[in-house]
Amino acid sequence: MTSKQTSGIGRRTILGALAAGTMLTPFGFGAAHAAEIEGELVMINWLAGAQGEMMEALQADFVEKNPEITFRNIVPTSSGDTRGGIRTVLLGGEQADLLINTWPAFRQELLDAGMILPVDEAWEENNWSDLLADSWKDLSTIDGKNYGVTYTFGDRSGIWYNTGTMEKSGITPPETWDDFIAGFAKMNEVGITPVSIPAKIWAHAEWFESTLLRVAGADFMSKLARHEVPWTSPEVVTTFEKLAEMLKADCCLDPNTMLASIWRDSADTTIKTGETGYMLIGMWLNTRAKQEYQLEPGKDFDIFQFPAMGMGYDNQSMVDAKEFNVLSSVKNIDAANAFMGYMLTADAAAIMADYGLASPSSAVDPSIYDPVIQRAVNEVVSAEKVHFVLGDLLPGDLVHEYRIQIQKFLQDPSDETIAAAVQKIEDVANSAY
């Protein structure tokens, strides 16, 4: 059975929850903590690098508070789209309690396969509604049942830059698309490549998606994600044309260099060395910049929101989120619920904040965040509408074709390529749903 899920998140409830942050107490954790929990908690945990270290720190803190608990992490082996590795683990018969998930489309797939359980009962028992806005619940609700507990979220429309490169170029963060394009000449003059687009695997689609949000808005993106509108729609074509403006204004290195680089390369040249001006990626860059580059958020690097295009959707943002799903193979449901409750506490949020990530929990005093997270949270909160990352909502073979076609467009941003690209994506979409 296939059923529909939501991909948009209401702004008001996020705002309400975050605004109430310092006034609420972590009832959820209190309730879970009171229960006797013991034994092994098995988690399918694919987080790597600094995010992996963050999860280790969270687990260690949880174990310190619950000494009878031990963790066993099952780490799927994969690169690129981690869902392949997770599927292999699940079909291979691994028995786990919790899964970290960041793909709404994958949640649906897991549900269709009978591999996840609803969390409504635990949600009510532990009063998680006091800590998590209804929007987060709505995000992981399918056919009236909730299947996930969100523990972090990020602003995916934030453009990252090194403050030094802006000073060197003599420009300030642009607010409009025209200013954004106009700044390229100044950056090029001082030897800075304005934009870094890592197009080897998936990260180049970030630029397409944030541009599409400005051109057509969140509602259109939701329809596109469900294939209720075709990829040949004028809005998609206009999005490509806007990106072509950027490419023709000497934004980037040659296409082959883009196609040879991954997001970490862009992070190095944009945030660490300042050879390139801007990049677009998720909040995990904050984690990398703080933990691996030892840079200070807000001082050494910062973000600004994707520039306005004046097409009616300038106050919208792209977001991502990570959640826990309870697997149907769960053996230690009490510990699983307790850990999900813990992840909504101020203690967990403090650990995540140290690593540069934001918690959606209202138990968090936003002042604990560094300036970059604060800015990202404010942008999401003040957005008129937010939309989940498009690529994470598309079926696997469609998302692959979509990324390939954007690669082709980067090589040749002509009208002919655009027409061929949208038609090809549409053809694959017709067989993918």
Partner 1 sequence: MADVTATSVDGSKGPPIGAMRLPRQLSQSKAAYILLAPLLVFFGVSVIYPVIETIRLSFFEIKGLAPAKAVGLGNYFKLLSDENFLRALRVTFVWSFSATLFSVMIGWALAMACALKPRETMVFRVLIFAAYGVSEAVVGFIWLGIYRPDYGLVNGILGGLGLENMQQAWLGNPDTALTAVIVAYVWTQVGLPLMTCFASIQSIPRTYFEAAYIDGAKPMSMMRHIVMPLSLPGVRVAIFINLLQSLKAFDLIYMLTGGGPVRSTETVGFFMFRESMLNFKLGYGAASTVVLLVAVLIVSTPLIAQRTRAVK
Selected binder of partner 1 within 272, 404, 420, 426 (CB under 8 A): 404
Query: What is the smallest separation between the CB atom of 325 and partner 1, expressed in angstroms?
Result: 13
For position 257 contacting partner 1 by CB under 8 A, the verdict is yes
Selected binder of partner 1 within 168, 186, 200, 223 (CB under 8 A): 200
For position 49 contacting partner 1 by CB under 8 A, the verdict is no
Give the pairing of strands 385-388 and 316-327. Answer: parallel
Selected binder of partner 1 within 232, 238, 378, 411 (CB under 8 A): 411
Selected binder of partner 1 within 14, 58, 69, 110 (CB under 8 A): 110
Please report, for the chain, how many H helices and E strands are present, in that order: 19, 14
The b/e string for 357-396 (b: 16+ C-beta within 10 A; e otherwise) is bbbbbbbbebebbbebbbbbbbbbbebebbbbbbbbbbbb
For position 83 contacting partner 1 by CB under 8 A, the verdict is yes
Q: Which is nearer to partner 1, 231 or 339 (CB)?
A: 231
**Contact in structure between 371 and 306 (CB atoms under 8 Å):** no
Segment contacting partner 1 (CB under 8 A): 36-44, 63-71, 254-262, 314-322? 254-262
Q: Which is nearer to partner 1, 185 or 260 (CB)?
A: 260
Query: What is the smallest separation between the CB atom of 411 and partner 1, expressed in angstroms?
Result: 7
Query: What is the smallest separation between the CB atom of 329 and partner 1, expressed in angstroms?
Result: 13
Rounded Cα–Cα distance for residues 200 and 404 (Å):
9
Segment contacting partner 1 (CB under 8 A): 148-156, 166-174, 253-261, 321-329? 253-261
Tokens (6 digits) for 417: 């390529």
Selected binder of partner 1 within 229, 396, 417, 420 (CB under 8 A): 396
Rounded Cα–Cα distance for residues 116 and 141 (Å):
12
Helix axes 284-291, 371-382, angle to 10 degrees: 170
For position 408 contacting partner 1 by CB under 8 A, the verdict is yes
Q: If binding means CB under 8 A, how many residues of this protein chain bind partner 1?
A: 35
Rounded Cα–Cα distance for residues 286 and 184 (Å):
24
For position 113 contacting partner 1 by CB under 8 A, the verdict is yes
**Contact in structure between 324 and 148 (CB atoms under 8 Å):** yes
For position 423 contacting partner 1 by CB under 8 A, the verdict is no
Query: What is the smallest separation between the CB atom of 276 and partner 1, expressed in angstroms?
Result: 11
Rounded Cα–Cα distance for residues 284 and 75 (Å):
19
- Give percent helix, percent strand, percent coil of the chain, each to the nearest 5: 50, 15, 35
Q: Which is nearer to partner 1, 91 or 190 (CB)?
A: 91
Task: Work out the burial of residue 266: count CB atoms within 10 Å of its CB; fewer than 13 is exposed, 13-18 middle, 19 or more buried.
Answer: buried
Helix (H) or strand (E) segment spanning residue 155: strand 149-155
Query: Site residues (CB under 8 A) for partner 1?
Result: 78-81, 83-85, 87-88, 90-91, 109-110, 112-113, 115, 199-201, 253-261, 396-397, 400, 404, 407-408, 411
